[in-house]
Amino acid sequence: MARYEDDYDDEANEQACFIATAVYGSPLSEEVDILRQFRDEFLITNPIGRALVVVYYRLSPPLAGFISRHQTLRALVRECLVNPAVTLSKSIQRRRAH
């Protein structure tokens, strides 16, 4: 059985925040940067987190494409999924810094 964490490729996935980029409209948004930092500092540093990232990179590109083409869906995903993830990521990063 393949291990998902072994499938993570640092170089290929360096900037890939597909769904956040779709809902914010740019890979350069502050929110996308916060999520990217959380991925790099917390998720890919352990086997479970790396496995989650690999699954996300396998499933999210077609979802992000669909989301980016529907304005109402972009707003819904941003408010119900991505904004809470950004808030949680910032909170965890702040706790770790103290």
User: Per residue in 48-88, pLDDT tens?
Assistant: 999 999 999 999 999 999 999 999 999 999 999 999 999 99
Structure tokens at 36: 């990217």
Name the CA radius of gyration of the chain, rounded.
14
Query: Does residue 48 lie in a domain region?
Result: yes
4 part of a folded domain: no
Does residue 28 lie in a domain region?
Answer: yes
Confidence of residue 1 (pLDDT cuts 50, 70, 90): very low
Within a domain: 5: no
Checking if the pLDDT of 9 tops 90, the result is no
* pLDDT for 12: 47
Confidence label for 2 from pLDDT (cuts 50, 70 and 90): very low
Give the Cβ contact number of residue 41 at 10 Å: 14
**Residue 27: enclosing H or E segment and its boundaries?**
none
What pLDDT does 96 receive?
Answer: 85
Does residue 17 or residue 51 have the better pLDDT?
Answer: 51
How confident is residue 10, by pLDDT bands cut at 50, 70 and 90?
low
Is residue 23 in some structural domain? yes
Q: Is 10 a domain residue?
A: no
Euclidean distance between CA atoms 81 and 20, whole angstroms: 9
**Considering its fold, how many domains does the chain have in total?**
1
The domain in which residue 44 lies consists of 15-97
